[in-house]
């Protein structure tokens, strides 16, 4: 049964966060309603693309991964058993990103820099942009951005994923664990290792660093 005018209105309200509105859309999607699914995804599309973009480091690849993930998510939506929809969708996107990375490795064409759809290198990561800063601050932010991107590229995918989920996208440990398909303890240990590697790589930047990477950490937990 297609989404009704009333459900469309509920879907738009869902973007402002009422949980009961989201639950009604979820029930509609579980009945196979594609329109309801599209409304539901409006709330999460920026998050999902952000995760894919920062893991894959390529705009086109991220768009492909998200598209494949959403197709997969709709087809198997009846396997969603409640809880955090955000972390469930993130999990599907993370899996799609890993599939894309395996494909790229086979093709030997994994890019080192961030690119846009025109094939041009993206000079500034949009999550660090502050339109109010002056020229000096803008230069410092640009240098920090490039250093962070270069350091992020050197992280193993499993570390990069949890750092993106928690430090960049703001997921809780529990949500990140569900998205990555690992226990919460593993998320914490991988995040600590990722932050430590980033800290060691970026220590020359001193006070320019975001606070999580200026904290002295001792990591003794295994994965």
**Continuous segment of H or E residues that includes residue 112:** none
- Work out the percent of the chain whose per-residue pLDDT is above 70: 64
pLDDT at 3: 46
Give the CATH architecture of domain 126-213.
Orthogonal Bundle (1.10)
- Band of residue 204 on the pLDDT scale cut at 50, 70, 90: low
DSSP-derived secondary structure letter, 16: T
What's the CA gap between 39 and 23, in Å, rounded?
12
The answer to whether residue 191 scores a pLDDT higher than 90 is yes
- Band of residue 87 on the pLDDT scale cut at 50, 70, 90: very high
Work out the average pLDDT over 12-33. 76
pLDDT at 20: 76
pLDDT at 168: 86
- Band of residue 143 on the pLDDT scale cut at 50, 70, 90: low
Counts for the chain of helices (H) and strands (E), in that order:
10, 0
Q: Which of 116-120, 127-131, 170-174, 196-200 shows the lowest mean pLDDT across its residues?
A: 127-131
- Band of residue 151 on the pLDDT scale cut at 50, 70, 90: confident
Please give the mean pLDDT across all residues of the chain. 76
- Work out the percent of the chain whose per-residue pLDDT is above 90: 42
- Band of residue 221 on the pLDDT scale cut at 50, 70, 90: very low
Quick check: 163 and 155 in contact, CB under 8 A? yes
Q: What are phi and psi of 220, to 5 degrees?
A: -130, 5
CA distances from 126 to 4, 21, 162 (A): 36, 31, 19
Work out the average pLDDT over 120-127. 43
What's the CA gap between 164 and 56, in Å, rounded?
11
The domain limits of the chain are 1-43, 126-213
């Amino acid at each position: 049964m297609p989404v009704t005018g009333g459900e469309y209105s509920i879907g738009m309200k869902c973007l402002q966060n009422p949980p009961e509105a989201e639950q009604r859309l979820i029930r509609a999607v579980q009945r196979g309603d594609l329109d309801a699914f599209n409304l539901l995804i409006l709330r999460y599309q920026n998050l999902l693309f952000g995760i894919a973009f920062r893991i894959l480091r390529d705009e086109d690849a991220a768009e492909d991964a998200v598209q494949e993930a959403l197709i997969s998510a709709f087809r198997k939506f009846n396997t969603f058993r409640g809880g955090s929809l955000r972390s469930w969708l993130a999990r599907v996107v993370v899996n799609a990103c890993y599939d894309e990375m395996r494909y790229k490795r086979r093709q030997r064409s994994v890019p080192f820099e961030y690119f846009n759809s025109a094939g041009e290198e993206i000079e500034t990561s949009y999550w660090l942009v502050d339109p109010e800063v002056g020229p000096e601050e803008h230069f410092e932010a640009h240098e920090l951005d490039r250093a962070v991107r270069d350091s992020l590229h050197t992280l193993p995918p499993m570390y990069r994923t949890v750092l993106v989920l928690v430090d960049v996208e703001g997921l809780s440990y529990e949500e990140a664990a569900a998205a990555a398909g690992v226990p919460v303890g593993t998320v914490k240990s991988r995040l600590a290792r990722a932050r430590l590697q980033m800290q060691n790589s970026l220590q020359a930047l001193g006070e320019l660093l975001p606070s999580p990477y200026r904290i002295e950490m001792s990591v003794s937990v295994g994965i």
